[in-house]
A and B are shown apart, each in its own frame.
Chain A
Amino acid sequence: MSHPDDGTIQMLLDGELDPGEQVRIEAHVQACASCAARLAEGRAFLVEADRLVEVLAVPEEPARRRGSPTRRSVFRTLAWAASIVMAVGIGYWGRGPGAVASAPVVLQETDKPLTTAATPPSALPPAEAPTRPAADRQEVASEAKAAGAVGGIGANELAREQPAAAAAPAPAQELRDARANAPAAKVARSTDEPAAAWRVISMEEGVRLLGGQIRLIDGLAADRVETGPGTAVVGANAALPVVRVVYAAGAVTLDQQRPMPALASRQEGAAKVVGGAVAYETTMAWQERGGIRFVVTGSVSVDSLRALGGQVR
């Protein structure tokens, strides 16, 4: 047989030949001194190249990030999470109003994240051409290329410009650090809002206070549920308690009340950003949906907050 080319020798070294061809090439190499030399040389290059690449180990995380995360690292992770939240939100909006039915609540221990049992991001429909066959290698490659070349979610922009915060499935150390540095139990959203006015309650109590229904931000794992007086939240009905679901170590909160009939009719309408009470904090207008009034506040951008508001189920 003719001498195998370099690619075939490489395939032999990488175990990529089919069994029949492998036997044939090995037989040839055993009988051909020049090909045996090429094989040996190829193996030497392979081994050394692998070792050289191994030299480029990812640097270990600086020690400070374990105890005290840098601004950049926190923003990066939080922005990542915010991007997910926004993307998930877009996915849900794309599904139309029929898909936003009540999300069953999974109750867990207070010190563990509370999650909705709503459709996870995994079940979201692809944003582009879901029915095209996947087999065509070139198609997949071009699809990926397009995804790399076209806009997408501006996560980097978020990371650089905004102290975005939200909790998605990012298991990164920074998010845990952010949680660790958060207030122990209660979150005060502004200087007018004393933290002491808030107490942690169970999900059941929250449901009871709201008269049988509680709103959650879909796709986010809640840290805890709290309650405080209506006087503690701007725009809330002062005569009624507010139930607060806390996310991302307090970076995002969802306040809600069971509305008085007269209030509900006045407050109905689309979400509108009304401005921030504290630096880096943005509050949306109170909304009323399905018998519950709610407002989302967070140390996130206006766009992120809009996305979060759209995910309240």
Chain B
Amino acid sequence: MTTDLAALFREHHASLVRVLYRRTGDHDRAEDIAQETFARAVAAPPRNPRPWLFAVALNLVREDGRKAVRQGRRLELYRAESEQSSPAADQVLERSDNVRAVQQALATLAERDREALLLKAEGFNYDEIAETLGLAKGAVGTTLSRARRKLVEAYRTQGGRHVAS
């Protein structure tokens, strides 16, 4: 199929950045990976853009994550230092604490469960989730069931509040 790049960008960029941000917790990183993903889409226009874009982007996250692990100790030191030298952290909005709690809960999920959950939140149907993650369609329901349960339980375990309706 042919792909109109501008339309592809308009249609999927925000959604892709949203999933990447939720997946990584880092807006700049999400933007960078989205950019890289679209650059690759230009180089090799996908036939089925939506699953392709998200699959490539999530692969890049994993690839990026492996690099990050190699620098993990340094990053941890930096983070600890940063938190110590930031008394203003006490004034961070309650919402930020909640965001952190959700991010931490999300991080307890298996990679595939987490990604299936995030794709579902973007309106992907089971076929699209299966195609993006390389799952059998029949496994998507089980994956989502497990992911939802684990997310909620992990959130509650760390004292997270029920999110108001």
Contact = CB atoms under 8 A, between A and B. Distances in A.
A6 interface: yes
Nearest to B5: A121
B73 interface: no
Interface string B1-32: 11111100110001001100110010110111
Which of the listed residues A6, A58, A123, A143 has the most CB atoms from chain B within 10 Å of its own CB?
A: A58
Contacts of B44: 126-128, 147, 152
Contacts of A90: 43
Interface string A182-194: 0000000000000
A165 B38 CA distance: 17
Contacts of A169: 5-6, 9
Interface residues of A, number: 63
A140 B18 contact: no
Interface string A4-35: 01111111001010000000000000000000
A57 B122 CA distance: 12
Contacts of B142: 5-7, 10
Interface residues of B, number: 76
A200 B138 CA distance: 62
Contact of A142 (B25, B134, B141): B134
Contacts of B163: 48, 51-52, 54-55
Contacts of B10: 171
A144 B56 contact: yes
B139 A7 contact: yes
Given A49-B152, A58-B17, A171 B9 contact: yes
A169 B103 CA distance: 33
B21 A153 contact: no
A22 to B, nearest CB: 13
A148 B63 contact: yes
A170 B38 CA distance: 10
Contacts of B56: 144-145, 147-148
Interface string B25-56: 10110111001101110111111100110011
A87 interface: yes
A43 to B, nearest CB: 10
Nearest to B141: A7
Contacts of A140: 47-48, 51-52, 55, 131
A301 interface: no
B80 to A, nearest CB: 23
A155 B39 contact: yes
Which of the listed residues A9, A79, A140 has the most CB atoms from chain B within 10 Å of its own CB?
A: A140
Nearest to A85: B42
B131 A137 contact: yes
Contacts of B132: 141, 144
A124 interface: yes
B117 A53 contact: yes
A49 B42 contact: no
B155 A52 contact: yes
Contacts of B38: 80, 84
Interface of B: 1-6, 9-10, 14, 17-18, 21-22, 25, 27-28, 30-32, 35-36, 38-40, 42-48, 51-52, 55-60, 63, 95, 98-99, 102-103, 105-106, 117-118, 120-121, 125-126, 130-134, 138-149, 151-152, 155, 162-163, 165
17 contacts: A51-B165, A52-B152, A59-B21, A79-B35, A83-B39, A88-B42, A91-B43, A121-B4, A122-B3, A137-B130, A138-B134, A140-B48, A140-B52, A142-B134, A144-B55, A148-B58, A155-B36
* 10 nearest A-B pairs in the assembled complex, by CB-CB distance: A148-B59, A7-B141, A169-B6, A144-B55, A141-B134, A7-B142, A83-B39, A49-B148, A87-B42, A10-B141
